[in-house]
Every structure is written in structure tokens, then in C-alpha cells.
Structure 1
Amino acid sequence: MDSAYSPVPELNLLSELEKRLDGEFISDGFELFAFGERKHDSWSDAPEFVEAFLPFAEATGSGSFYALWCVDDRADLATLPVVVFGDEGGIHLTARHLRDLFCQLASDRPLSVDWGDAYFAEYEGYHRERAGAPQAHETYVAWLDQHFGLGAASDPNDLIKAAQNDFGAWFETWIAPLTQKG
């Protein structure tokens, strides 16, 4: 029996790390949930919309979540763009691929999402003060370097801009007719 978290090796490694950290967050508001769980089907009933996203993690403590956008039939799912569905509205590109998201998470800044925008805000939270929280994040940063040779993005919003530059026009053109309410 295959006990892998997902069909994405990078996410399987991250799932193993989360299990070792026993409930401590690797980054503010981020936590994996059941891969592919259909949390987005209330946003549109168009089958091509529902099938185009693979949700995989909470993005904020308030219900926003990350999903891979299946822009094409590429075999390596880790190279798909990452979007965030906002708990208060909005669907936005956040990363060109999982490794960009991993670098954003290493910055440990909270993601803010609304109808108009998604961005990483300056840190104002409390989770680093809890016992185990700073160590969990430090363990994640070391994990990121060990497995991918990557570190924290100096400004995680630059990676959002890169995703927008690469996929923004395509995403907006594709999603608009699927999410408009008549």
C-alpha cells in the first residue's frame, strides 16, 4: 500500500517534515491538508474549473488555501503554478511553482488575501513566541537548504510578481468566464 501524501515528491518530503514537527507550523498559517481535497468547488460549478486545481495546504489561519493550477498536462506537478483561494474572496497566483512557494514560506511572513490582491505582509504574529515554533521554522529552513539548496526569499512578494509576469494574463483570461456569476 502506498502511503505517500501526494503524487508530488516535493510535497511528500514536506509532509514527512510536518509529521516530525508534530503540529508545529513551518511558516505562519501554513499547514498541509488532504491532497486534492475539493475545497474550491463552491467557487464555480464549471467542471474545467473544478478539475484545474489541486488544493494541498492551508495558507492562512483563517481558511485561505493553496492549490496547484493544472495549466497543462505536464507530468511534473511540482512545476505547476501555485494559486491561493482567499477565505474572504479572491483567487490569485502566488508562485510560479512549488519551489518558489517553499522560498516564500521560509520568509515566515503571513499571507494576506482579499478580492483584489494576495501579498505577504510584515510579520506581526505571535506564533514564534510559542514553545517549539521558532525551532520548527528553523528546522524547515534547514530542510529547504538540505533538499533543494534554497533559502528564504528576501522579499516573497517578488515571487508573486514573477508568477504574475509569467502566468497572470493567461490566468485572468482563463478564470474570468468560469467564475462570473450570472
Structure 2
Amino acid sequence: MARDMREFFRVLASGWTAWGDWESLAYDNQRDEDYDPCPDNAKFREWLRHHFGLEAAEDPNEIVGTTDTQLWDRFAEWIGPICPDVVNSRTEV
């Protein structure tokens, strides 16, 4: 979840793993010295830096939190007629 493609690219470049449902989305850094869920991430980061001058998000949860705060109402307007349970089941953030 991001407000625009540039933010979305930064979230992807973080290499963190997304966890979510209709009510929330969070990212978890599961990398350690023996495991990297995105082994080609360094190539993507290089591409992102070269073509857009962007760096990976240090903590993608900050972008997700800002996006949720700013865009939930617009998302609810759009998704509500299609999936009212999404809007009705939402708990306060």
C-alpha cells in the first residue's frame, strides 16, 4: 500500500515481507544472514536508484501507515459498493 508508484517502488525495494488482511497491512523484515526472501533485491535497488533517484524504504510500515491515514476514506468509497463487508468490518486504526 502506497500513495503513488514511487512510494510503492520504495516499499518493494525494502525487501520486507507483507502480511495483511482487509483490516490491516504490515511489513516484517525477515532477512537475516542465512535467509533473504528477495535475493535479487540489490539489482532492483540499483535500477531504482539509477532510473528514479530513489532509495528503499528503511521501514515500509511508515509509508503504509501514512497511506492508510490519508486514503482510507477514498478507498472505502470505492470498495464499499463492491465489498461492503470490507468497510463494515474495519476496526479503528
Same fold (TM over 0.5): yes
Pairing of 1:29-178 with structure 2 (within 5 A) = 94-123=1-30, 128=36, 134=39, 136-178=40-82
Structure 1 residue identity aligned to 2:36: R
Q: What amino acid is the match of 1:157?
A: N
- Report if the CA contact (8 A) 2:30-2:36 is conserved: no
Identity of aligned residues (%): 30
CA distance in 2, matches of 1:117, 1:172: 13
- CA deviation digits over 1:145-165, x for unaligned, max 9? 000000011110111122223
Q: Which runs of 5+ in 1 are unaligned?
A: 1-93
After the TM superposition, which segments of 4 or more aligned residues of structure 1 sit over 3 Å from their partners?
A: 124-127
CA distance in 2, matches of 1:141, 1:174: 32
What's the offset of the Cα at 1:180?
2.8
* RCO comparison, higher one (Cα < 8 Å, 6+): 2
Change beyond 3 A, Cα 1:142–1:124: closer
Q: Which has the higher helix share?
A: 2
Name the TM-score, length of structure 2 as normaliser. 0.75
For the 8 Å contact 2:19–2:26, the answer to whether it is kept is yes
Displacement of 1:177: 2.5
The DSSP-based 3-state class of the residue aligned with 1:177 is coil
| Number of aligned residues | 84
Contact kept, 8 Å, 2:15 with 2:29, in 1: the verdict is no
Q: Is there any run of 5+ residues in structure 2 with no aligned partner, and where?
A: 86-93
